[in-house]
Amino acid sequence: MLRVGVTGGIGSGKSTVSRRLAELGAVVVDADEVAREVVEPGEPALAAIRARFGDEMLCPDGSLDRAALAAVVFPDPDALAALNAITGPAIMERIAERRSAVPADRVTVFDMPLLVERRLWVHEHLAIVVQVDVETRVRRLVDQRGLDEDDVRHRIATQVDDAERRAAADVWLDNNGTPAELLAAVDELWHERIAPFNANLLSGIRTRRPDRSAVVTAQRDWAERGARVVARLAAALARTGLGVDVTHLGSTSVPGLIAKDVIDVQVGVPTLDDADRPEFATAMRDAGYLLSEGNLGDTPHPRGADASGWAKRFYGGCDPGQVVHVHVRETGAQGWRFALLFRDWLRAVPEERDAYAAHKRALLAADPRTDVYTEAKEPWFEQAWGRASAWADAAGWTPTPGERVAAE
């Protein structure tokens, strides 16, 4: 089952996107709808709101006076936090129940205004952010919904800004145009990415890089893409109870370096036996990553070194919109260490980064096939290992993994 999160600021049009995804076949769980349900008369959350904010929060018929509550909590961060503490757990429990009941072959969409604010996007395979300029949102909400302009601006100010949303967004849907343009963008997204992603998960098919001409110029968003992969894997692996480290590395982690458009991530595990545990494979698959059988190690450096220090497990992602390779290595092993060293060395020494880029171009000019290109780089890596190790000794370098996931 593919999990998709949809979010956006008030007035962005995220509900329109969710409705279209439902028409295309997704099962949508609307957080706002659930939020209304959990505060209906007779619900424990409504009683808690009354106890915290007073009888004046109720209408004569015993239902919640939403306008009165909004007037209290939106201007007051502490009051808003208190409300969220009451309603948040009840909402998330009911959402989990709804999503767990969705058939395994369907796409489930979580329509959630606070997907970014509450960092819930890390549990979704894809996060879609619907974006509209602030002034356009204000005008739409005032003119089309009849809302008070000051209230609208205050609500917008309490939400995260576009920079934070963009960092969490796998898909950035611009809704500054016409409704027809937005629907066309959603249709394209469904057919080209969402439906194939779900099919890959169901069929156990990982996304592979192109066979030829796979190297591209450095992309400005590689760091953000890598950070999202790291965050999702860290969240998924936290449930295993293992203490692991998750790091973006490889060429896409080095600013300015040409590379295959592949996000490489390293997961450090206490021992490789931990990576073979069923709960590890289950967590990886739930996050959208499949084990590649037979890919059990890297080329040892220097030549002739003990191969056991370069053993690993390899997983590939299923997202057709982003190829991801996950290298699972034992924390502290030579292969784990060198992956971090190579990244940090190229970041710290621009001349070596540029020399590596020139070598890549030369190999591609000779033969652009991906497998041939990959194999041809090994002699260069053998020489680079020595230079990188000398730099590490001189600089006093020590490995610094990325996100650390504590055992629960």
Domain extents in the chain: 3-203, 215-405
The rounded distance, in Å, linking the Cα atoms of 45 and 182 is 36
260 is in an annotated binding site: no
Three-state secondary structure call for residue 287: coil
Q: Flag whether 13 is marked binding.
A: yes
Q: What is the pLDDT of residue 309?
A: 95
CATH 3.30.460.10 for domain 215-405: yes
Read off the amino acid at residue 300.
P
Which three-class secondary structure state does DSSP give residue 356?
helix
What's the CATH fold of domain 3-203? Rossmann fold (3.40.50)
Q: What is the pLDDT of residue 262?
A: 95
| CA–CA dist 115, 121 (Å, integer) | 6
- pLDDT on residue 375: 73
Look up residue 130 and give its two tokens.
């619907």
Q: Cα(41)–Cα(277) distance, rounded to whole angstroms?
A: 47
Cα gap 262→101, rounded to integer Å:
34
Residue pointed to by tokens 């936090």 = 81
Please name the residues in contact with 382: beta carbons below 8 A apart, sequence gap of 6 or more. 301, 302, 303
pLDDT at 372: 64
Distance (Å, whole) CA 37 – CA 19: 19
Backbone angles phi, psi at 329, to 5 degrees: -130, 160
Which residues touch 375 (CB under 8 Å, ≥6 apart)? none
Per the annotation, does 11 bind a ligand? yes
In 3D, which of 173, 236, 200 has the Cα closest to residue 320? 200
Q: Tell me the whole-structure pTM to 2 decimals.
A: 0.89
DSSP letters for 207-236: ----SBS-EEPPPTTHHHHHHHHHHHHHHH
Q: Report the interhelical angle of 44-53 vs 77-100 (nearest 10°).
A: 180
Q: 312: annotated binding-site residue?
A: no
Query: Which pairing describes strands 171-174 and 126-131: parallel, antiparallel, or unpaired?
Result: parallel
Regions of the chain short of the pLDDT cut 50: none
> What are the tokens at 80?
């808003």
Q: Mapping DSSP to helix (H, G, I), strand (E, B) and coil, where does residue 191 land?
A: helix
Distance CA 83, CA 114 (A): 14
15 is in an annotated binding site: yes
